C-alpha cells in the first residue's frame, strides 16, 4: 500500500503547493475517507453528522462537532483553482495563494502565520485544479481570531510590491526543484497534458515556467477580485465547537463581507481520440525503468455510481500485497518489482486512472505492459468475484478505525467534496453507497473505461521510462 500511494502521488499531478504539509492532495475521495470513517455496510448512518447553514452573503458553513480535545481545524475553501485561469497565465491561482500570506492593511506581511504559531497552532494552504484552500489547526479559544484574519484576507489582500518579484522567484524555484530537475516529473507532466488535450487539467497547477514569469500583481488581483468572495466559498470547521458558537462568530466575521457576481466556470470539452499514444524517454538519472498507462474516466461529480465502482476496482487490483496486480506480477510471475492501479476521482470535470509497474532485472517494460494488460482484460472479460467485492468494501471501511477522530480529515473530505460538485448528503452517505456496489457494477466500469479497443472519449496514454546507457557502460 505504501508503494502504491507513493507512486500515485508522483504520477498524478502536483496538487499541493510549497506552503502545504499535505503533499498528497491528489489523494482521491476513498483514501481521504479512510482517515475518518468507522461504519459497516449494515449501519446506515451519516459519517460525520455535520451541521450546515448559509450566511446571508452566501457563505456555506459546515460544522463537524468533536469535543474529544479542545482544538479545532478551520478551513476556508474557494471554488476556484488552476483550471479557472485565463489561458497563458498558468500557475496564477497558486501564485495568488502564496501572496495571500503577504498581508492586508490589518495584518502585516508574514504576520498571519506568526500569529497562528504564537497561539500554538499551525496553518497552511494548497491549490488544486478546482479549488484553493487555507486552514489553521489551533485551540478552540482562538477560533474567532482565525475567522477574523481569514475573512480579512478574503477581500483585502495587499501584498507589498517588494514581494511580487520575490514570491514569483519562490514559485519558479519550486517548479525548478520539483519538476524541472526531475525527469520523471517532467515525463508525467507531459503524459497528463496528452490525456487532457484542450482542457486545463492538462496544464500543471504550478504553471509552465515561461508563463509564470509573465504576469504581474495587477493580473493576479483581477483574478482575486473575480473569484474570492463569500458566496464562492465553503467554510468547514471541525473540532471542539458547537454549530451555535460557529454561527455567531461567522456572522460577526465573514458575515460582514459583501457577496459578488461570480462568473460561470466555463470549461472546454475534451475532443475524442481513437488512436493510442505512446511516450518514450531515456534519461541518465533514471536508475529503474517503469511503465505507466493513463485512462480518462469519470469523477464523482460526473458519474457517481461508476466512480464508486472504480474505487472498488482499485482496491481489488491494487489494495495491498494480496491484491491482483501485485500478487500476479510481483509474487507469482516475478515480472515486476512493483505494480498497481491509482484512481483520482475528485475532479469537477473528469477523473483519471493510472496503472503502473517496474520490471525485474531480467524483464522488459513490454513484459510489464503485457502482464498488466492481461490482468485488466481478465476483469473486462470475466469480472471479479463476489468475495473480492465484499472484501474490498470491508477493507476500505476497516482501514478507517485507527483515524476515526482526526480533526483535519473531516474538514478535508467535506471541503473537497463540496468544491468539486458533490453535496453534503452524498458525502455523508458514502459508506452506504460504496456498500451497494456489485460485481456487475465493477465489471461494467472496467468494460466501459479500460477497454483499449473501445476507448471512452480518449484512448489511453502509455509511458515508458528507461535508464539511458552512456557510452562505455553496460546494462
For the annotated catalytic residues, the residue numbers are 97
219 CB-contact burial (10 Å; exposed 0-12 / middle 13-18 / buried 19+)? middle
CA atoms within 13 A on the CB side of 368: 28
3-state secondary structure of 53: strand
C-alpha to C-alpha distance for 285 and 248, rounded to whole angstroms: 57
306 CB-contact burial (10 Å; exposed 0-12 / middle 13-18 / buried 19+)? buried
Q: Is 207 left (phi over 0), alpha (psi -120 to 50) or beta?
A: left
For 212, other C-beta atoms within 10 Å of its C-beta total 22
Angle at 351 between CA 349 and CA 356, to 5 degrees: 160
Largest CA distance in the chain: 73
For 352, other C-beta atoms within 10 Å of its C-beta total 25
Phi, psi (rounded to 5 degrees) for 434: -70, -30
Q: Output the 3-class SS for 159-191.
A: CCCHHHHHHHHHHHHHHHHHHHCCHHHHHHHHH
Asked if 245 contacts 429 with a C-beta cutoff of 8 angstroms, the reply is no
C-alpha to C-alpha distance for 363 and 271, rounded to whole angstroms: 36
Place of cell 474516466: 297
The runs of H, that is alpha helices, within 383-423 are 386-398, 408-418
Give the residue among 221, 398, 399, 380 at the shortest CA–CA distance from 313: 380
Cell of 153: 484576507
Cell of 362: 531480467
First to last CA, the chain: 30
**Which strands form 51-54's sheet, in the order they lie side by side?**
51-54, 60-65, 233-239, 71-78, 132-139, 122-127
C-alpha to C-alpha distance for 145 and 165, rounded to whole angstroms: 30
Virtual torsion, Cα 446, 447, 450, 451, nearest 10 deg: 160
Amino acid at each position: 500500500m505504501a508503494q502504491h500511494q507513493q507512486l500515485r502521488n508522483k504520477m498524478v499531478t502536483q496538487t499541493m503547493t510549497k506552503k502545504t504539509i499535505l503533499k498528497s492532495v491528489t489523494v482521491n475521495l476513498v483514501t481521504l475517507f479512510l482517515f475518518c470513517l468507522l461504519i459497516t455496510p449494515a449501519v446506515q448512518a451519516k459519517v460525520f453528522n455535520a451541521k450546515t447553514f448559509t450566511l446571508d452573503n452566501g457563505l456555506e458553513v459546515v460544522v463537524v462537532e468533536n469535543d474529544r480535545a479542545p482544538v479545532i481545524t478551520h478551513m476556508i475553501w474557494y471554488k476556484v483553482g488552476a483550471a479557472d485561469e485565463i489561458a497563458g497565465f498558468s500557475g496564477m491561482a497558486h501564485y495568488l495563494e502564496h501572496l495571500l500570506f503577504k498581508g492586508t492593511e490589518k495584518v502585516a506581511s508574514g504576520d498571519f502565520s506568526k500569529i497562528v504559531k504564537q497561539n500554538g497552532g499551525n496553518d497552511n494552504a494548497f491549490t488544486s485544479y478546482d479549488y484553493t484552500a487555507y486552514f489553521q489547526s489551533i485551540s478552540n479559544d482562538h477560533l474567532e481570531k482565525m475567522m477574523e484574519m481569514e475573512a480579512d484576507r478574503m477581500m483585502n489582500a495587499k501584498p507589498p510590491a517588494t514581494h511580487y518579484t520575490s514570491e514569483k522567484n519562490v514559485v519558479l524555484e519550486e517548479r525548478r526543484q520539483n519538476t524541472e530537475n526531475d525527469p520523471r516529473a517532467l515525463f508525467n507532466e507531459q503524459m497528463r497534458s496528452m490525456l487532457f488535450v484542450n482542457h486545463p487539467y492538462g496544464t500543471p497547477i504550478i504553471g509552465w515556467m515561461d508563463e509564470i514569469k509573465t504576469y504581474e500583481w495587477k493580473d493576479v488581483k483581477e483574478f482575486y477580485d473575480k473569484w474570492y468572495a463569500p458566496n464562492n466559498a465553503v467554510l468547514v470547521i471541525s473540532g471542539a465547537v458547537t454549530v451555535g458558537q460557529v454561527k455567531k462568530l461567522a456572522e460577526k466575521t465573514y458575515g460582514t463581507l459583501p457577496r459578488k457576481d461570480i462568473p460561470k466556470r466555463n470549461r472546454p470539452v475534451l475532443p475524442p481520440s481513437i488512436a493510442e499514444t505512446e511516450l518514450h524517454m531515456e534519461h541518465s538519472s533514471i536508475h529503474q525503468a517503469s511503465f505507466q498507462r493513463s485512462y480518462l474516466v469519470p469523477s464523482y461529480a460526473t458519474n457517481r455510481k461508476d466512480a464508486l465502482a472504480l474505487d472498488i476496482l482499485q482496491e481489488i487490483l491494487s489494495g495491498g500485497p494480496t491484491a491482483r496486480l501485485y500478487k500476479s506480477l510481483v509474487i507469482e510471475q516475478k515480472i515486476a518489482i512493483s505494480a498497481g492501479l491509482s484512481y483520482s476521482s475528485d475532479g469537477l470535470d473528469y477523473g483519471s486512472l493510472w496503472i503502473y509497474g517496474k520490471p525485474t532485472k531480467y524483464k522488459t517494460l513490454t513484459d510489464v505492459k503485457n502482464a498488466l494488460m492481461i490482468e485488466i482484460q481478465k476483469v473486462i472479460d470475466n469480472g471479479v468475484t463476489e468475495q473480492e467485492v465484499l472484501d474490498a468494501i470491508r477493507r476500505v471501511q476497516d482501514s478507517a478505525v485507527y483515524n476515526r477522530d482526526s480533526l483535519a480529515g473531516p474538514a478535508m473530505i467535506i471541503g473537497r467534496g463540496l468544491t468539486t460538485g458533490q453535496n453534503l448528503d452524498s458525502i455523508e452517505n458514502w459508506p452506504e453507497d460504496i456498500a451497494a456496489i456489485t460485481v456487475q457494477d465493477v465489471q461494467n466500469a472496467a468494460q466501459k473505461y479500460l477497454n483499449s479497443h473501445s476507448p471512452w472519449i480518449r484512448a489511453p496514454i502509455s509511458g515508458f521510462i528507461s535508464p539511458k546507457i552512456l557510452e562505455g557502460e553496460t546494462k
